[in-house]
Amino acid sequence: MTKIKVLYISISGNTRSFAQKLAEYATTQHEKNAVEPEIELREVSEATIPAKEAGPFVAMVPTYLDGGNGVDNGVKELMTNALGEYIADGGNTSLCIGIIGSGNKNFNRQYCLTAKRYAAAFDAPFIADYELRGTDQDVVRIYDVLKKTFASAAAH
Ligand SMILES: Cc1cc2nc3c(=O)[nH]c(=O)nc-3n(C[C@H](O)[C@H](O)[C@H](O)COP(=O)(O)O)c2cc1C
């Protein structure tokens, strides 16, 4: 399998940390068995110029919402808009094959709500979630989900 492409945005570093752990784990797996795909990361920020991606990707997005309960009211995205704009403005919507969300379960119903909103906006499945910097178990679980998501996209 070719490399798994993951785009992400990270404001306070948790998503970046998790993405890097995921890529390191994939490299270790690939070195043990060349069939296991590596992960190619691309961090998007306010400074990123929209561009067309060369192939399918999964987007990882943390949750930052302002006000209200984030479900019935007060849904205002903070901080993560640059990733959504990169996907939409770069003509990348149809290449987005999944969304991985992160957040903090203390936010209850708002947990991972940004990712759920991205999934709806880009008509892509919400494929996994994890809290904050994620655990080693999250790395193993989400690598598996990524492999399945890319394998199924390649088969269509
Ligand atoms: C101002 C602010 C608002 C947040 N709102 C939510 C939220 O609505 N739901 C949620 O699950 N997590 C929420 N979080 C938690 C972040 O999504 C979480 O800390 C995430 O790991 C941050 O990722 P990053 O370090 O890559 O930016 C919020 C954090 C901050 C600082």
Please count the structural domains in the chain.
Answer: 1
Q: Which domain range does residue 118 map to?
A: 4-155
User: Ligand 1, from 11, 17, 66, 102: best to mutate by most atoms within 8 Å of Cβ?
Assistant: 102
CA of 131 to the centre of ligand 1 (A): 9
46-96 pLDDT, tens digit per residue, is 999 989 999 999 999 999 987 655 555 556 777 889 999 999 988 999 999
What pLDDT, in 10s, does the model give residues 115-137? Answer: 999 999 999 999 999 999 999 99
The total of other beta-carbon atoms located within 10 Å of residue 93's CB is 13
DSSP labels, 75-130: -EE-S-HHHHHHHHHTT-GGGEEEEEEEE-GGGGGGTTHHHHHHHHHHT--EEEEE
Measured by CA distance, the residue closest to atom 3 of ligand 1 is 64
- Can you tell me the distance from the alpha carbon of 26 to that of 30, in angstroms, rounded to the nearest whole number? 6
Domain harbouring 87, CATH code: 3.40.50.360
pLDDT at position 97: 98
User: Is 101 touching ligand 1 by the criterion CB < 6 Å?
Assistant: no
Q: What is the pLDDT of residue 67?
A: 60
pLDDT in tens, 89-118: 889 999 999 999 999 999 988 899 999 999
Cβ(14) – ligand 1 distance below 6 Å: yes
Residue 27 in this model has a pLDDT that exceeds 70: yes
Cα distance between residue 144 and residue 140, in whole Å: 6
Q: Residue 120: its pLDDT value, please?
A: 94
